[in-house]
Structure 1
Amino acid sequence: MRSYIIKPKSVKKSEIIKNDYIFSASRHNNIQINSNFDYLVNLIKISKKSVSLTNQKKYFNYVEIGSINTTTGYIEPTLKKSIDISTDSVFQLEKDDILISTVRTYLGGIGIINQKDQYLVASKALIVLRELKKDINKYYLFGILRTGFFIEQTNLILNASMYPRMDKDSFDKLKIPFPTNTNHQNPEKVENHISNIVQNIIDKEEQIKLKNKQIDELIEKELKEKQKAGSFSYRYPKISEIREETRLDTGLYERNFKEIDFLIRNYEGGIFQIPLDKFKSGSTPKVRVFDPQNKKYKWVTPTLITDQGNYQPSATINMDSKNNLSKDCILIINRTSKGKKGEYVGITCFYEVNSFGLGQHNQGLYQIKDYSKFEKLFIICLLNSKLYRKLCGCISIGSKMKEMKSLDFAFLKFPNFPDSKQKEIVNLYYKSLEKNKNLNIENYLEIEKIRNRKLGIFQLNLEIFSLQEQLETLVHKIVSEEYIEIDFAY
């Protein structure tokens, strides 16, 4: 991992006074920077446009700290009633607003709004950057803010506490680098190239969201249109049913669960279940080194799998024991503190060894590998759908840490869709294409967007990480004043 921190060998008394008598070592470190830079405070204004929620009786698309994906910067608002938002005032948001989390900056809590919505609002724990002060590309600026170079800078100025906070008055200390003639004979081309990469990442995220929605619609439509005779009727549970289930701390008796369960059991194509012996637990090796220089295995935990079921291959591990990821498999989150009702338990990803390499997953995940690749992909699509998020939420147990045991997953029923419908669903999740050729600055984004619409979710996620690595390399070369060749391959 690259580091841009310059640690001084000594600190003058005058510098301690200048830093408000703060003795924290990080406050006296410096950051490596090129000859062409400006301070963030000179580039963009903070928006404080607010909306009062007092006496409001509306639904809002609410963005809070956890709405920003810290790995990709993608923002997923939550639809909430005004009464359910625990504050009297929120920020009004507009398309292309850049949001910086005051408490997750050091983790990468920086995102950009990519939609128009008059009811889109944000928590005041977020800093909203809107109006540019100088003639610069906002996507270039966002790209810089999303890199390790910027994140490392914020660590030098965060107010120390249990939850380090970003102070909006510190923007005069944060440096934004710009390309020079040393990087390229036409520095503006480098800026445009970075802007294009950032917009390509955003478009891929939007396509993932769209394809997940299409999968949900296909599953629900197939189930509802092909029901056997009979209709759903809800009844309160009998004592005999509770004795059979042997559980009171559950949503198994709720109307919502019963209705979805009936929809699946009553499907005319029949159902299938995953046998208990197919589920294999993971482990954390007793002897291990995380993120070693010699990156031997990928490290997989629930926190590295997004809410949409996409694995983020950002951590590695070395160990002296045998690894447990050597074949393509399904990985299912079996416990998480996320959510209120367990709706994030059971989120599933596809681990493809050819794409990620050998790996090791911990005990927070179950592994299933004894199915064909196509069958694995179809199961993943079902488990990540909205219907199965609700089912898993009802089945899961626990208070703060929601959990499902292998026995609970084996209890789940899956509809046996015809092959043609399974293929239609799986193609939205997994579909690869040749990379585009003959790209240039002018046509790059248009042609990439056309290809993005045809790719599967799995491939889109892989390419997002390739583009992020490319972005990190470009910014590193700008800061180090190295020559940059405009290369569209990733």
Structure 2
Amino acid sequence: MSSQYINQYIKVPLSISLKTIEEKGYTLSSSQYMDLNMPNRNFKFVKEFLSRPLKRSDLGNEIGSVNYITQSPFFFIRTKALQPHTFLPEITSETTLPIIPKVFVNNNLREGDLIISKDSNIGEIAILDRDYSNFMISGAIYKLPVKQNKYYLLAMLKHAIFREQLDFMVPKGATIRHAKTLFLDCKIPLPNIHAEETIQYVEMLTQAIVNKEKLIKERHENILLSIEEELINGKQQTDFEFEYPGIDEVFINGRLDTGLYNEKFKKWNYLVKNYKNGSADLISRGFDWSRGTSLEKNFIKTRVDSDKYQEGFYELVLPTNISLYGYVDKSLYIGTPTKLKTISKGDIIFGGEGFGKGRTYVVVEESNNVATNYHGIRIINKNKDLIESIFIRCFLAFWRSKGMIDFIGVGGSGGHCAPSYFHLIETPLFDKTKQSQIARLYHNGSLNYDFKTFSLVNFMEMDETYNVQAGIYELDKTAKQLKILLDRALDRIINDKAVDFFV
């Protein structure tokens, strides 16, 4: 029987026998005849990794949108908190919602627990980076009771071998798909060659990636806290007093559709303007701007898109792919004869519109052939000071966390914060020492990460030593490098081949 591949690990036959149709109950649905293409026949089912069978208490609860409120000490974790690009849950105002305390159900969420989505984004999984004692999970999420080989299972559940199995097991056609507990019947391949060492290697890589993602979140929080403490401790003696806008203020701003008159905006703006060393708006400080090239076909005419690097293609850094923490989740590539505007070392990419509004990324290394789109605003430091550029990126992240970018911007559905409003972004004149301290949490260019020196014996210790001094940029960069090694190892296990460690 011949077959064709619809993806990497699932095959569907081009022809079937009458006997096979009879065995399948005379169904002609193509999904019923798909088969798993996994050369390695040594496997366990997901359910065999569990320390006990799943119980109803392992599943979250639905509380209904009527119980969502604006502020509460208790939160509801939605399935969208589980994302493919990270091992950790993404805790944001969109993924976790404050709820009425009386409907809170304690799911006993502890650091190291695995949670998996059975509905909507089926099969997405995350490991908890801390205790979430005041959070509950939705009725579409299971907490998995796993004690042994937890990180090996986590790695495989993040891999395409699991996603593709689950995808063809779950019925198609519904707007929201429901996997129930079908994920328990997915096969997880186990190594046959140097099995113990290989499992140890996979677990070490996965744990190291998780550790780096935890530290990225910590560095981000430390950046925000450092800026806030410096502003509060460095303010002039006068206290802020809120006043409603007068007619003169409205005429000066020339706007009514704005948050510039909001008490919270005025309070934080007052703190910056009353900082002991003074302040300057973004433009007066010496920054300029330039929008990226429009990538619409009616403008660039010819374009070829790719998820992987191709020689001569531009690498695209898009605002929608910039994370909350200031790194790029993924890059896309585009081939076109049209000359695109490229970004340079020290440039800040600022999301001007929509979901990515106010998200920022600073280019800390020399770059060639890297571009952004029209929604990516290139903020250029005419002072050619990398430390200052990194600090300003960190301050913009702080400003966004306080809602200040939303106050300045306009429009619905995410709105926009166009360069014409950059003069409204007031920045504090922290001294060089403080700027450097904050910038170092984002980038430390003096470090070296050398795979050639790693072994199963020393890897975790050497990686942890590196992490102590690494900034967000380095933590993300090395996590991506480890993910490449991890994917390579998992692919070889699936294909029943020996795994070369740290190669």
| Both structures adopt the same fold (TM-score exceeding 0.5) | yes
Matched, 1:205 2:219: no
Change (3 A) 1:71 1:188: same
User: Given the alignment, which residue of 177, 182, 191 partners 1:179?
Assistant: 191
Alignment of 1:284-433 (within 5 A): 284-286=295-297, 287-291=302-306, 295=310, 296-328=313-345, 329-337=347-355, 345-352=357-364, 354=366, 358-371=369-382, 372=384, 373-385=386-398, 389-432=402-445, 433=447
Q: What does residue 60 of structure 1 align with?
A: 74
Any conservation in 2 of the 1:92–1:122 contact (CA below 8 Å)? no
Change (3 A) 1:386 1:205: farther
Q: What does residue 340 of structure 1 align with?
A: none
User: Given the alignment, which residue of 130, 147, 161 partners 2:159?
Assistant: 147
Any conservation in 1 of the 2:119–2:177 contact (CA below 8 Å)? yes
- CA separation in 1, counterparts of 2:330 and 2:8? 20
- CA separation in 1, counterparts of 2:25 and 2:416? 47
User: Given the alignment, which residue of 224, 230, 246 partners 1:222?
Assistant: 230
Any conservation in 1 of the 2:303–2:335 contact (CA below 8 Å)? yes
Any conservation in 2 of the 1:270–1:415 contact (CA below 8 Å)? yes
Q: 1:202 Cα deviation (Å)?
A: 0.8
Q: 1:302 Cα deviation (Å)?
A: 2.4
Q: 1:138 Cα deviation (Å)?
A: 0.6
Change (3 A) 1:52 1:398: closer
- Report the AA paired with residue 410 of structure 1: H
Q: Deviations over 1:105-163 (max 9, x none)?
A: 46x7321112224323211222322245xxx4010000111122222323222332464
Q: 1:453 Cα deviation (Å)?
A: 1.9
Higher mean C-alpha displacement, 227-236 vs 93-102: 93-102
Question: Counterpart of 2:145 in 1: which secondary structure?
Answer: strand
Question: Counterpart of 1:284 in 2: which secondary structure?
Answer: coil
- CA separation in 2, counterparts of 1:294 and 1:220? 40
- CA separation in 2, counterparts of 1:65 and 1:420? 42
Higher mean C-alpha displacement, 280-289 vs 427-436: 280-289
Matched, 1:279 2:290: yes
Q: 1:25 Cα deviation (Å)?
A: 3.7
Q: What does residue 118 of structure 2 align with?
A: 102
Relative to the length of structure 1, the TM-score reads 0.86
Any conservation in 2 of the 1:139–1:198 contact (CA below 8 Å)? yes
- CA separation in 2, counterparts of 1:421 and 1:294? 38
Matched, 1:444 2:449: no
- CA separation in 2, counterparts of 1:330 and 1:194? 36
Any conservation in 1 of the 2:114–2:127 contact (CA below 8 Å)? yes
Question: Counterpart of 1:346 in 2: which secondary structure?
Answer: coil
- Report the AA paired with residue 3 of structure 1: Q
Q: 1:358 Cα deviation (Å)?
A: 2.5
Question: Counterpart of 2:469 in 1: which secondary structure?
Answer: coil
Q: What does residue 460 of structure 1 align with?
A: 475
Q: What does residue 37 of structure 1 align with?
A: 43
Matched, 1:75 2:89: yes
Q: What does residue 341 of structure 1 align with?
A: none
Q: Deviations over 1:175-199 (max 9, x none)?
A: 1111112xxxx21111111101111
- Report the AA paired with residue 493 of structure 2: I
Q: Give the share of equivalent positions with the same residue, in percent.
A: 25
Structure 2 stretches of 5 or more lacking a match? 1-5
Any conservation in 1 of the 2:291–2:375 contact (CA below 8 Å)? no
Any conservation in 2 of the 1:100–1:126 contact (CA below 8 Å)? yes
Any conservation in 1 of the 2:289–2:377 contact (CA below 8 Å)? no
Change (3 A) 1:5 1:164: farther
Any conservation in 1 of the 2:156–2:162 contact (CA below 8 Å)? yes
Between the two proteins, the alignment pairs up a number of residues equal to 472
Any conservation in 2 of the 1:91–1:123 contact (CA below 8 Å)? no
Change (3 A) 1:480 1:51: closer
Q: 1:236 Cα deviation (Å)?
A: 1.4
Higher mean C-alpha displacement, 207-216 vs 161-170: 161-170
Question: Counterpart of 2:501 in 1: which secondary structure?
Answer: coil
User: Given the alignment, which residue of 260, 263, 266 partners 2:268?
Assistant: 260
- CA separation in 1, counterparts of 2:423 and 2:82? 33
- CA separation in 2, counterparts of 1:254 and 1:293? 45
Q: What does residue 113 of structure 1 align with?
A: 128
Q: What does residue 177 of structure 2 align with?
A: 165
Change (3 A) 1:357 1:143: farther
- Report the AA paired with residue 441 of structure 2: L
Higher mean C-alpha displacement, 153-162 vs 423-432: 153-162
Question: Counterpart of 2:464 in 1: which secondary structure?
Answer: helix
Q: 1:395 Cα deviation (Å)?
A: 1.8
Q: What does residue 93 of structure 1 align with?
A: 109
- Report the AA paired with residue 15 of structure 2: S
- CA separation in 2, counterparts of 1:389 and 1:19? 58
- CA separation in 1, counterparts of 2:186 and 2:236? 63
Q: 1:277 Cα deviation (Å)?
A: 4.9
Change (3 A) 1:68 1:324: farther
- CA separation in 1, counterparts of 2:403 and 2:23? 55
Q: 1:299 Cα deviation (Å)?
A: 2.5
- CA separation in 2, counterparts of 1:29 and 1:51? 33
Question: Counterpart of 1:46 in 2: which secondary structure?
Answer: coil
Alignment of 1:229-244 (within 5 A): 229-244=237-252
Query: RMSD of the TM alignment (CA)?
Result: 3.1
- Report the AA paired with residue 231 of structure 1: D
Q: What does residue 138 of structure 2 align with?
A: 123
Question: Counterpart of 1:332 in 2: which secondary structure?
Answer: strand
Question: Counterpart of 1:77 in 2: which secondary structure?
Answer: coil
- Report the AA paired with residue 324 of structure 2: D
Relative to the length of structure 2, the TM-score reads 0.84
